Structure 1
């Protein structure tokens, strides 16, 4: 008897991620879940330099700005809650004065462009089809920054609109890096504030649009959404909010991602890397004891050896 409906994922035969790879991740908070795992195992990774972005249009906008090296100006910022914000970026880039905000955006674009030019893989996680249009400036935004809702119009992007946004993203990526492997995924986080039916329709539009562009542009799709909804369809795999995947679920999805996208040789090193990472977190009761000093010496030797083998830094 089987008590789960396991998703059958097709293993990739080429362009796998290893310790020589460079990975750029953009999109929803699920990008950070996968990105943090990649970084933990010492893979060259840049995660959400512009902060969390949920919609296809927001991701297309930051990629377009990055590739064109757009220079934002102070009059493009908006004031709210004692801070200045960009409507096209997460509040991580906000600050109390325009100089710092513009510098944060500029630095994020530089970091993104540098990683994009060298990236072997670009992973984009879409969160929702629901978007907000800023009425005054007549533009779709990435973040409302707690500005009164009366200043925005909410609507759901059509499949055609999402397809167009994804095409913009792909074309801008390939302008600077024609050979990079682009992987799309849909966040398993349900946007319950939109309503459960509305969330389902939203995810359906994302999945349909990705399916259309997948063959057209030779990009890939990883089914994190399907793994969560169909394989791990039990509330024991959720945080207490019953919305976000918990650590067990994230680890399971990471395992499935590793099987499909991580090179076997790279996976071979994961246990040794994890051993060093866990040892570095160890706190001694007696830091000056001979036993602990010996522990540190052995750890330093293991770390140095692994750094030479993989050309990485802990």
Structure 2
């Protein structure tokens, strides 16, 4: 007897990710979860340089500004609740110093362009179709930074609007990196503040627009969809796979989806390296009863030898 439905998956036949790949992850907090896995296993990756971006227009704007080398200035930031913020970035970039925020915005934007140029894979996770337009600037914002809601108008992006945005960001990146591979996903995190029905409608717009994009470029092998949303909703349809808020997948669910992603997108020859990296990471995280004991010193020496051998083959690895 089988008590679980399973999303059919098959390994990607071309363009899999290995330790020579360079991965850029942009989007909703689910991209953070997968991005942390890439960082843990020491893949070459850049994760959300402007913080979590929930909706497609924000991701498109980041890519547009990076490619066009925008320079952020005082006009692009504002002071609120004792911090300086930018409507294009998540609040984790906010800072009590205006100069520090501007330096961070411009540094991360420069880094983003360089990584987009070199990227072999770009993973984009969309979280919501709901967007907020700031009334004074008439710009859609990536984050409201707890500015009172009367300063914004709220809108549900249509499937057509999302499709136009996705087409635009793909075309933008391909002007500087024509061979890059895009992997689209939809975040399984539910935005209940929008309402239960409204969240379902929002997710459906995202899923429909991504698949319309794939259908319009059906001859291209550089655009793919990974069903993270469906795996959580259909395979792990139980609240034991969620955090206490009952909205965000817990570590067990994240690990499950990561293993599914590995089975599709990570090359077989990289899995042995991942096993070695995992052993080193666990060794480095080990907390001994006596750090001055001979046994512990010998253990640390063995870990250092393993790390050194791996770094000889892959010099970019940093432990």
* Superposition TM-score, scaled by structure 1 size: 0.98
Residue of structure 1 equivalent to 2:250: 246
Aligned-partner SS, 1:72: coil
The 10-residue stretch of structure 1 (166-175 or 124-133) with the greater mean CA deviation from structure 2: 166-175
Where structure 2 has 5 or more consecutive residues not aligned to the other structure, the ranges are: none
**1:313 corresponds to 2:318:** yes
Deviation string 1:239-273 (CA, Å, 9 cap, x unpaired) is 11100000110000000000000000101222221
Residue of structure 2 equivalent to 1:136: 136
Deviation string 1:127-151 (CA, Å, 9 cap, x unpaired) is 0000101011111110000101110
- Counting only pairs closer than 5 Å after superposition, residues 183-222 of structure 1 correspond to structure 2 as 183-217=183-217, 218=220, 219-222=223-226
Residue of structure 1 equivalent to 2:307: 303
In structure 2, what is the Cα distance between the partners aligned to 1:240 and 1:302?
A: 38
Deviation string 1:183-210 (CA, Å, 9 cap, x unpaired) is 1100010111111111000000000000
In structure 1, what is the Cα distance between the partners aligned to 2:69 and 2:158?
A: 29
* Superposition TM-score, scaled by structure 2 size: 0.96
In structure 2, what is the Cα distance between the partners aligned to 1:137 and 1:313?
A: 43
Deviation string 1:139-187 (CA, Å, 9 cap, x unpaired) is 1110000101110111110001101111121111111111010111000
In structure 1, what is the Cα distance between the partners aligned to 2:20 and 2:60?
A: 27
Displacement over 3 Å in runs of 4+: none
Aligned-partner SS, 1:249: helix
Root-mean-square deviation (Å): 1.0
In structure 2, what is the Cα distance between the partners aligned to 1:10 and 1:300?
A: 37
Cα drift, residue 298 of structure 1: 1.1
In structure 1, what is the Cα distance between the partners aligned to 2:11 and 2:302?
A: 37
- Counting only pairs closer than 5 Å after superposition, residues 272-287 of structure 1 correspond to structure 2 as 272-287=276-291
Q: How many residues align?
A: 314
Cα drift, residue 305 of structure 1: 1.2
Residue of structure 1 equivalent to 2:51: 51
In structure 2, what is the Cα distance between the partners aligned to 1:96 and 1:222?
A: 39
